[in-house]
């Protein structure tokens, strides 16, 4: 198979676009596609200060690399979750982010959950009873809080995450299976900062296949953590991604069409606003972040109700 | 005259430390399917360079597969 642009041997074939490209042209193509999405969905402009949430994985590091190459003012944020699982998962991924930033002269902020709040994510989940087997919900809660806090305190106007098309399609599939109206109504490439204190969240890779972000990382020689988060085994996300890939095999472009048609349907008003209305937000009296909980936010209550270390199984 | 056995030419696919031996001469895409994977969920590299899945597998060569799907 040959590169459509130069006729050299292709390194990747994207069946959904009927497009094969060599390494050189692919490394131009993906940043162009990313910039198109940034402009199309009005995610952010030049001169804005962007924070990229990086995990050490292929998607977030590829995104940071591309934003840097495109000339955006983008710093990175690594949240050290304290996950070891016998493979030093967090320390390894942190080292990869630090090396990535140092090699490019970029600013990486590091927030250590254990150092700041007194317990790692697995420990907090175990002691809070909020996920003794799987700490994923605690992990999501803590990450959202820290990302928002750093954006707010340090004047970042947008928080960019490496969510790719496969991530978005899997979430959409899951929510459509249960007709989770509230979640469907909120799923979008841009989550606007609805009030002061809640950062704008953007997903510049929302139209890019996961296979393409991985190809970019490999072709750019970005060192990323290849191991999965030890807690993702058996996750519903992997299950839905697998189903969608089986469909994609027979119908190239099915995932992209699924997601883009959803966004178009939303624009045409298919999903009415929740009849109960948006939850009223107020500032948490402890941390000051917006919350819909009656008093303190869920994050502050999580740390308050942690059982003392060593008392839980 | 006894029938002679013909050695089948094989290509090796490597994924996360596992080795899969497949018949050479087929396309990489067919071979990926044959070992139970989705071609949408992996990339393939030979001699450190990514290759497309229409590639005809040659006897004796080793192709490294890279899983691209993560669940976090």
pLDDT at B5: 44
Q: Which residues of chain B have pLDDT under 70?
A: 1-7, 72
* Smallest CA–CA distance from B69 into chain A, residue: A210
Tell whether B5 is covered by a domain.
no
pLDDT greater than 80 at residue A26:
yes
CATH number at residue B41: 3.10.20.90
How many domains is chain B built from?
Answer: 1
Q: What 8-state DSSP symbol labels residue B29?
A: H
Using CA atoms, how far apart are residues A212 and A164, in angstroms rounded to an integer? Answer: 9
pLDDT at B3: 47
pLDDT at A193: 87
Q: Using CB atoms, pick whichever of A11, A12, A249 lies closest to residue B39.
A: A249
Q: Which superfamily is assigned to A12-267+289-304 in CATH?
A: HUPs (3.40.50.620)
Selected for mutation to probe chain B from A17, A214, A221, A232 (highest B CB count within 10 Å) is A214
Using CA atoms, how far apart are residues A65 and A52, in angstroms rounded to an integer? Answer: 10
- Residues from chain A that touch B49, judged by Cβ atoms under 8 A, are 11, 23
Instruction: Please tell me if residue A248 touches chain B, with a CB cutoff of 8 Å.
Output: yes
Tell whether B72 is covered by a domain.
no
What interhelical angle do A165-177 and A254-267 show, nearest 10? Answer: 70
Mean pLDDT, chain A, integer = 92
- B50 and A13: CB-CB below 8 Å? no
Element (H, E) at B18: strand B18-23
Tell whether B50 is covered by a domain.
yes
As beta bridge partners, residue B20 has B13
Contact A111, A74 (CB under 8 A): no
Instruction: Please tell me if residue A58 touches chain B, with a CB cutoff of 8 Å.
Output: yes
Tell whether B1 is covered by a domain.
no
Instruction: Please tell me if residue A168 touches chain B, with a CB cutoff of 8 Å.
Output: no
Element (H, E) at A185: helix A181-186
Residue A308 pLDDT class (50, 70, 90 cuts): low
Tell whether B18 is covered by a domain.
yes
Please enumerate residues of B whose Cβ is less than 8 A from a Cβ of A.
38-41, 43, 45, 49-54, 66-72
Tell whether B21 is covered by a domain.
yes
- Residues from chain A that touch B43, judged by Cβ atoms under 8 A, are 12, 211, 214-215, 218
Mean pLDDT, chain B, integer = 90
pLDDT at A164: 98
Domain limits for position B35: 10-67
Quick: pLDDT tens for A128-184. Answer: 877 666 789 999 999 999 999 999 999 999 999 999 999 999 999 999 999 998 889
pLDDT at B71: 80
pLDDT greater than 60 at residue A16:
yes
Quick: pLDDT tens for A204-217. Answer: 999 999 999 999 99
Residue A295 pLDDT class (50, 70, 90 cuts): confident
Contact B45, A221 (CB under 8 A): no
pLDDT greater than 70 at residue A309:
no
Residue A102 pLDDT class (50, 70, 90 cuts): very high
Tell whether B28 is covered by a domain.
yes
Contact A253, A245 (CB under 8 A): no
Tell whether B4 is covered by a domain.
no
């Amino acid at each position: 198979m040959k590169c459509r642009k130069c006729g050299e041997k292709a390194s990747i074939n994207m069946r959904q676009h009927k497009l094969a490209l060599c390494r050189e042209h692919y490394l131009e193509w993906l940043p162009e596609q990313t910039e198109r999405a940034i402009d199309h969905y009005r995610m952010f402009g030049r001169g804005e200060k962007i924070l990229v949430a990086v995990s050490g994985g292929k998607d977030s590091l590829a995104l940071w690399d591309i934003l840097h190459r495109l000339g955006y003012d983008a710093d990175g944020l690594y949240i050290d979750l304290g996950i070891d699982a016998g493979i030093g998962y967090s320390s390894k991924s942190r080292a990869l982010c630090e090396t990535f930033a140092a090699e490019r002269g970029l600013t990486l902020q590091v927030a250590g959950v254990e150092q700041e709040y007194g317990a790692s994510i697995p420990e907090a989940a175990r002691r809070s009873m909020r996920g003794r087997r799987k700490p994923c919900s605690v992990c999501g809660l803590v990450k959202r809080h820290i990302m928002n806090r750093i954006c707010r305190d340090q004047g970042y106007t947008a928080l960019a995450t490496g969510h790719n098309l496969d991530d978005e399609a899997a979430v959409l599939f899951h929510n459509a299976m249960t007709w989770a109206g509230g979640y469907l109504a909120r799923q979008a490439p841009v989550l606007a900062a609805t009030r002061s204190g809640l950062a704008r969240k953007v997903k510049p890779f929302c139209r890019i296949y996961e296979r393409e972000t991985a190809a970019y990382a490999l072709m750019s020689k970005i060192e990323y953590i290849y191991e999965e988060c030890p807690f993702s085994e058996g996750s519903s996300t992997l299950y839905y991604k697998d189903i969608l890939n089986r469909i994609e095999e027979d119908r190239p472009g099915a995932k992209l069409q699924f997601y883009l048609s959803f966004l178009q349907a939303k624009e045409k008003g298919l999903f009415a606003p929740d009849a109960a209305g948006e939850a009223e937000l107020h500032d948490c009296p402890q941390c000051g972040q917006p919350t819909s909980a009656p008093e303190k936010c869920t994050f502050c209550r999580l740390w308050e109700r942690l059982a003392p270390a060593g008392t839980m199984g | 005259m006894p029938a002679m056995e013909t050695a089948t030419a094989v290509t090796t696919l490597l994924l996360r430390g596992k080795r899969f031996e497949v018949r050479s001469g087929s396309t990489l895409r067919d071979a990926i399917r044959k070992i139970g994977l989705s071609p949408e969920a992996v990339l393939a590299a030979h001699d450190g360079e990514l290759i497309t899945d229409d590639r005809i597998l040659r006897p004796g060569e080793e192709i490294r597969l890279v899983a691209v799907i993560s669940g976090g």
